[in-house]
Amino acid sequence: MMAWLKRNWTFIVGALVVAVLVHVASVMAIPRLVMWRATGLMARNTGYNTMSHAVRATWQSRTIVRPSPDLLYSSCPFDLDSTPRDALHVHASGMPDTYWSVSVFDADTNNVYVLNDRRAKGESVDFVIISGEGDDTLGDSGPPKIWVPTARGVVLFRTLVDNEARFAEIDAARKHAACEPYVPQH
Amino acid sequence: MRLFLKCLAALVAGTALGLFVTWLTIVRGASGDVVNGPWRTSLLTGSTQSGALLRASVALHGLLALNRSETIYYTASTDSAGDALDGRCTYRLTGRDPPARWWSITAYGADDYLIATPSELYAVSKNSIVRRADGSFIVTVLRNAGAVDQIAVGDGHFSLTLRLYNPAPSVAADPAHAALPTIERAGCT
């Protein structure tokens, strides 16, 4: 055994180096791969840069792990590179009178922005997502700009069904959430 | 030729070992560095400051999780005695309303999705539980649930996620000591 180890120690060390590199690379790659698959599934029917309103989660919901059945999810997978001005407009007015949040995730799964009904203080949701160095010609006018590190990601609205008797009303109101490529109004 | 085969063997063995370690730490590993009884959480979930291991774990087991200012997620894969949660057993969750604007407890299968059961009672929440006179509640987790303060989990292994929406600042300040429900095994078949 010792003789075999002495004869092959360089290969053993080499294998351990490869193991460390593969481990680090796979850990770094997992978030982006998982997000890439998830946004692809979300965009399967409606494409990127548009909002879709999922039905309430059941055991048949297989797009995103660990969905919450007391929330209604509306998602907008985005690809800023495919928009005319590298910018996405996210807006919603008339959201229901219950807990809701809108969150932005980058391609590495980081939650880079979140706003909820209390912080919105009854105001409508209205912001523009930009990435990279952004489009300088957008200027400071128009809706607030939210900077995202990557051109791809997801905008996710979560709306709580806190009263089953109000389900239809809440479901209808949360569908006011929308997104589309941003074009400034001059 | 022999040298080439040895190099190839080292490459294959190293790749396999690296992927196995990743599987062990990310796919199989428990997420969350904060322990509160049977519950685990991490305050860095969803944060840009989270490390590579946590980010990978969240991507696989809790994709699109919000950061702690919005929601804190606790997950339990064992009961309060440390035994793995098993659908062949019945459990009692006893506690009081956690300090948050809204809370819910949801069961997930080993694949991290909601569990198919006839009743489709996946979760309980602040508004669905029945409180006793002193404000406490008991939620029963069992194979085939049938009441609003019960959760159905089928036959296999499962885990529970406790979501605290807009948690009180005290939870983020000391998540290991927040008052959370206990998980007691009542019996097995």
A110-165 pLDDT, tens digit each: 899 999 999 998 778 999 999 876 556 677 778 999 999 999 999 999 999 999 99
Model confidence over B25-47: pLDDT tens digits? 876 655 667 999 999 998 777 67
CB contact under 8 A, A112 and B17: no
CB-CB under 8 Å, B19 with A22: yes
Give residue A179's pLDDT.
97
What radius of gyration, in Å, describes the C-alpha atoms of chain A? Answer: 22
A80-116: burial string, b at 16+ Cβ within 10 Å, e else: beebebbbbbbbbeebbebbbbbbbbbbbbbbbbbbb
Contact B106 A69 (CB under 8 A): yes
More confident residue, A184 or A47: A47
Tens of pLDDT, residues A152-161: 999 999 999 9
- Could you tell me if A55 lies within 8 Å of chain B, comparing CB atoms? no
CB B183 within 8 A of CB B79: yes
* Token duo for residue A186: 């001059």
Residue B43 has a pLDDT of: 77
pTM of the model as a whole: 0.88
B89-148 residues touching A, CB cutoff 8 A: 101-102, 104, 106, 108, 112-117, 120, 122-123, 125-127
CA distance B173 to B60: 26
> ipTM higher than 0.90?
no
Residues of A in contact with B26 (CB under 8 A): 27, 30
Cβ contact, residue pair A57, B26, below 8 Å: no
Mean of pLDDT values over A25-41: 90
CA distance B104 to chain A (A): 8
